[in-house]
Amino acid sequence: MRSLNVWVETSSEPVGLLTADDNGAVQFTYAPEWVHTAANFPLSLSLPLREDPFGDATSRAFFSNLLHENDQLERIVVREGLDRGDMVGLLAHVGADCSGAVSALPQDHPPIKRPGSLGQDYDVLSEEDFADLVLRLAQGRPLPAETRDPSPVAGFRRKISLAALPGDRFGLPKMGSGAPTTHILKIPDPNHRHEAQHEAFVTALAQQAGFNVGACVAGDVEGQEVLLITRYDRWVEEDRVYRVHQEDFAQALGLPADLKYERRGREGRRFDTKAIARILDATDRPALAREQFLRLTLFNLLIGNNDNHAKNHALLHVPGQGPVLAPFYDLVPVQMVAGFREDLAFRIGDAHIPHEITAADLEGFCIALGIPAAGARRILVSAAKELLETMENLCADFSQEMRPLDNLIGEVATQLNAELHLGLALRERDAHVLRGGGWNLS
């Protein structure tokens, strides 16, 4: 049997024990002291505070979602001769660096994650070292032997976590410091080299439309486009950096990453509107969370982002209050990019693809989210009308190179305007959208 202590940055003692028996079955058990201290919080909605252990499926779903999807993990699999399904074995090697505030460490290992001092706990990257990191990531080459990703995050794009330091510099946490990073540097898919520009533009658009979003900015390093993302699960106060515990919707639902799309699951075990409603009901302000999620869903339809799967939504667990929706992130107009599917990440009503959506589907979606049936139509129409009017005003100032996105927004806005009988006088666009045909701004 292999056992690991589970910690969060705020804990002075382990919050629980993760074990795998000789047959590979996984179990997680909270420490009694963590369960019975009033100020403490559960690691996940799928792992509510209790003394009884959680079985393999539930435990595996949460902790496997902490594993990063990058070359660093694959090198450990090869080096240690581990099975990719040996989650506890993998965490024994990478659990000090797993995503977020949680760490999983051998029982004789002291806690590693702690708040950081921006002035003391980071090694500054020179401009040359920073550029070398970018080019290595862009070209698929390994990082320098002495460099590892100090806080890997999920996803298939090439990324590394960094800390923004005083004086417009970046750095990496000193080895053994356990200090948090503050930003994620993401490199676009080489086949979609303007992806960073698209994501930054759409994220700024969402912010202008009144959404709480994770800030990001696109830039150029040695001719390579990059996206610098401010981590929403960090709290910086003067010189100190703290981690805030977060979980994505897959973890909250007890689903492995493979089931992040509704089409991959089955009734009762999938990322669908019923499942989303359970998460929203558990937040600190459920009614507000439902309306926020409705507005975001409409926004994603407008920008062609049907890749809003379970790992692209998250909750923040703040001590002393209930879970809250994390700022929205990964807002990318994927329908403008060659090779992406048109299927929705989760059905809206009975619709599987965006252009099939009707007013009945949207109203049914609202009710399924938990919005009372008596007010669903009114709330839907009000949210759609306000968002479409806002987006029309914002789109009018788009540059010529962003006209493909303007055309997409106009096409979906026209569909929603007609289905919901909003009566808006929408601006005429000069082209139709070629979905999935690629978006080249050069």
**Per-residue pLDDT, 442:** 36
Q: The whole model's pTM is what?
A: 0.92
> Which pairing describes strands 240-243 and 169-173: parallel, antiparallel, or unpaired?
unpaired
103 close to 96: Cβ distance less than 8 angstroms: yes
What residues form DSSP beta bridges with 439? none
C-alpha span between 130 and 132 (Å, rounded): 5
Question: What single string gives the DSSP state of each residue in 27-39?
Answer: EEEE-HHHHT-TT
**Per-residue pLDDT, 141:** 84
406 close to 392: Cβ distance less than 8 angstroms: no
Residue 50 neighbours by CB distance under 10 Å: 11
Question: What single string gives the DSSP state of each residue in 366-418?
Answer: HHHHT--HHHHHHHHHHHHHHHHHHHHHHHTT--GGGHHHHHHHHHHHHHHHH
C-alpha span between 183 and 227 (Å, rounded): 10
C-alpha span between 176 and 164 (Å, rounded): 19
**Per-residue pLDDT, 242:** 96
Residues 6+ apart with CB under 8 A from 264: 258, 270
Find the helix or strand (DSSP H, E) in which 221 lies. Answer: strand 216-221
C-alpha span between 433 and 208 (Å, rounded): 24
Ranges of each domain in the chain: 2-106, 116-235, 246-419
Q: Please name the fold of domain 246-419.
A: 1.10.1070
Does domain 116-235 fall under CATH 3.40.50.10490? My reply is no
**Per-residue pLDDT, 190:** 72
DSSP reduced 3-state for 304: coil
Q: pLDDT per position in the chain (442 positions), as tens?
A: 899 999 999 899 999 999 999 899 999 999 999 999 988 999 999 999 999 999 999 999 999 999 876 666 777 777 777 777 888 988 998 888 887 899 999 999 999 999 999 999 999 999 999 999 999 888 888 878 777 665 555 554 578 899 999 999 999 999 889 999 999 999 887 777 678 888 999 999 999 999 999 999 999 998 899 999 999 999 999 999 999 999 999 999 999 999 999 999 999 999 999 999 999 999 999 999 999 999 999 999 999 999 999 999 999 998 778 899 999 999 999 887 766 788 999 999 999 999 999 999 999 999 999 999 999 999 999 999 999 999 999 999 999 889 999 999 999 999 999 999 999 999 988 766 555 555 444 3
**Per-residue pLDDT, 303:** 96
